[in-house]
């Protein structure tokens, strides 16, 4: 999907924000009293809402997300009695809630606001590419306590910010790395029912320029990262598809296609990403092989630096090579799982001293003819040097050249 956010989108959101700050035009209690102002807000909001609906449809076409989540897009501000009501701090967002958790039996069915969500949020000056969100006053206390326990033990990666909002006055009370909170602070905020909590990866409006073609890959890879490294370990949510006894009617619908095209090929089912013993064995082998190959040079091999499986630093020609290892059963799934992560790692390092950054997906299966066409299509779209796929030969314990993969 070519998910593109323009300057005009942010400008429209800022106009809405400006209208809502004018007490003569907008009241949280009464909404917009002037019908023309209401229509203008709806007009400004619609293009952005349409884009987020397209994002929802694209996520709903990928089995990684449909096997795990119910996906909804926020509605435009609610309308009643000739007014439009509701705060606009998070004007438009896509929410992903665990299907297995929504399916739990009880007196009442759970909804998105009552359980932790993964979100992509579009705001007047930023895009929250991925977040874990617990809604104040609605999210059940048991989840807040689980998050508090998890963060006490694990902390929070410095790439993410912890955002806390007071739902009583809708004001932000905290935004920083979790480790900068004192014990009384986070116990009060995370345990307090009237506080909304978000673990967020934020891109400011100006940071999004030039990455339009990579934005959807960034979103999907970050959602997967949050799901597998915080969401599941913290809340113990699981894949609904793994239990045949669970039956939930999802709102996600897939459109049938009459003939094969590249989109059909991209959207075939993918397996969950997990770090296996095989993954670790390949990682250790490559680390040793690369370590031998750089002896006598100023090159450096690193493992698990900033979550990258293997990294080679070549200061001589100012080149950085990033390796992402995947152990999926097909080369296609290795590429699906790996490319988003590598594009993100590239963006993290693009403003450093490296003049060239090479991205390598390491897998076990050999590329089929169709998969080679798939790789060719990606490179035609993103650039011929965007990444390469190299096959690891388990028997010989060597990394094969791209042409032999």
DSSP 284-322: HHHHHHHHHHTTTSS-EEEEEETTEEEEEEETTTTEEEE
Query: Comparing 120-129, 245-254, 338-347, which segment has the lowest mean pLDDT?
Result: 245-254
Query: Comparing 19-23, 93-97, 220-224, 286-290, which segment has the lowest mean pLDDT?
Result: 19-23
The mean pLDDT of 238-250, rounded to a whole number, is: 43
Residues in the chain: 405
pLDDT at site 274: 46
**Distance between CA atoms of 139 and 217, rounded to whole angstroms?**
29
Where does residue 341 rank: exposed (0-12), middle (13-18), buried (19+ CB within 10 A)?
A: buried
More confident call, 14 vs 158: 14
- Residue 388 pairs in a beta bridge with 360
Strand ordering across the sheet containing 161-166: 69-73, 92-98, 117-123, 126-134, 195-204, 161-166, 171-176
Confidence of residue 105 (pLDDT cuts 50, 70, 90): low
More confident call, 29 vs 310: 310
58-87 pLDDT per residue, tens? 898 887 888 889 999 886 655 444 444 544
**Distance between CA atoms of 139 and 297, rounded to whole angstroms?**
55
Cβ-based neighbours of 35, under 8 Å, separated by 6 or more: 82
The domains found in the chain, sorted by start residue, are: 7-242 (3.30.930), 262-404 (3.40.1350)
Distances (CA, A) of 225 to 48, 50, 64: 25, 26, 12
Over 80: is that where the pLDDT of 323 sits?
A: yes
Helices (H), 81-231: 99-102, 141-154, 183-191, 215-226
Confidence of residue 186 (pLDDT cuts 50, 70, 90): low
pLDDT at site 88: 43
Query: Comparing 121-130, 206-215, 271-280, 364-373, which segment has the lowest mean pLDDT?
Result: 271-280
Instruction: Give the three-state DSSP class for 257.
Output: coil
More confident call, 157 vs 71: 71
pLDDT at site 393: 92
Most confident residue range from 13-17, 255-259, 322-326: 322-326
Over 50: is that where the pLDDT of 160 sits?
A: yes
pLDDT at site 131: 92
Confidence of residue 330 (pLDDT cuts 50, 70, 90): very high
pLDDT at site 164: 85
DSSP 333-391: HHHHHHHHHHHHHHHHHTTSS-SEEEEEEEESSPPPHHHHHHHHHHHHHH-TTS-EEEE
pLDDT at site 213: 65
Region label for 2, one of left (φ > 0), alpha (ψ between -120 and 50) or beta (otherwise)? beta
The mean pLDDT of 287-299, rounded to a whole number, is: 85
- Residue 322 pairs in a beta bridge with 311, 359
**Is the Cα torsion angle 339, 344, 347, 348 positive or negative in sign?**
negative
Query: Comparing 140-154, 158-172, 349-363, which segment has the lowest mean pLDDT?
Result: 158-172
The mean pLDDT of 282-293, rounded to a whole number, is: 86
Confidence of residue 107 (pLDDT cuts 50, 70, 90): very low
Confidence of residue 178 (pLDDT cuts 50, 70, 90): low
pLDDT above 70 covers a percentage of the chain that reads 78
**Distance between CA atoms of 254 and 141, rounded to whole angstroms?**
35
Nearest of 259, 358, 270 to residue 317 by alpha carbon: 358
Region label for 253, one of left (φ > 0), alpha (ψ between -120 and 50) or beta (otherwise)? beta
Quick one: angle between helices 141-154 and 183-191, nearest 10? 150
pLDDT at site 6: 85
Confidence of residue 387 (pLDDT cuts 50, 70, 90): very high
Average pLDDT taken over every residue of the chain: 78
More confident call, 392 vs 4: 392
């Amino acid at each position: 999907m070519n998910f593109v956010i323009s300057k005009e989108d942010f400008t429209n959101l800022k106009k809405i924000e400006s209208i809502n700050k004018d007490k003569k035009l907008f009241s949280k209690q009464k909404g917009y009293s002037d019908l023309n102002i209401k229509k203008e807000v709806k007009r400004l909001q619609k293009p952005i809402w349409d884009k987020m609906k397209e994002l929802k449809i694209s996520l709903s076409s990928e089995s990684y997300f449909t096997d795990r989540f119910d996906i909804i897009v926020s509605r435009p501000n609610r309308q009643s009695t000739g007014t439009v009501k509701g705060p606009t701090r998070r004007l438009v967002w896509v929410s992903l809630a665990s299907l297995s958790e929504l399916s739990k039996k009880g007196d009442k069915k759970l909804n998105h606001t009552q359980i932790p969500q993964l979100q992509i949020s579009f705001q007047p000056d930023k895009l929250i590419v991925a977040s874990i969100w617990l809604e104040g006053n609605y999210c059940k206390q048991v989840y807040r306590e689980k998050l508090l326990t998890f963060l006490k033990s694990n902390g929070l990666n410095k790439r993410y910010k912890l955002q806390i909002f007071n739902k009583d006055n809708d004001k932000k009370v905290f935004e920083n790395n979790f480790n900068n909170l004192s014990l009384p602070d986070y116990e009060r905020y995370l345990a307090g029912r009237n506080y909304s909590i978000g673990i967020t990866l934020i891109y400011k409006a100006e940071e999004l320029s030039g990455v339009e073609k990579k934005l959807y890959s960034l979103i999907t890879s970050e959602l997967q990262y949050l799901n597998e490294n915080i969401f599941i370990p913290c809340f113990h949510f699981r894949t609904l598809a793994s239990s045949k006894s669970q039956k939930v009617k999802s709102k996600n619908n897939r459109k049938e296609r009459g003939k094969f095209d590249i989109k059909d090929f991209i959207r075939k089912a993918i397996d969950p990403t997990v770090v296996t013993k095989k993954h670790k064995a390949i990682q250790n082998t490559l680390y040793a092989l690369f370590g031998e190959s750089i002896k006598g040079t100023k090159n450096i091999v690193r493992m698990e630096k900033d979550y990258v499986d293997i990294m080679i630093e070549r200061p001589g020609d100012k080149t950085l090579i990033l390796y992402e290892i995947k152990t999926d059963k097909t080369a296609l799934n290795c590429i699906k799982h790996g490319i988003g992560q590598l594009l993100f790692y590239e963006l993290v390092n693009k403003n450093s001293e490296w003049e060239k950054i090479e991205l390598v997906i390491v897998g076990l299966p050999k590329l089929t003819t169709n998969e080679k066409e798939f790789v060719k299509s990606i490179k035609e779209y993103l650039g011929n040097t965007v990444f390469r796929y190299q096959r690891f030969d388990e028997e010989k314990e060597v990394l094969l050249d791209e042409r032999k993969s």
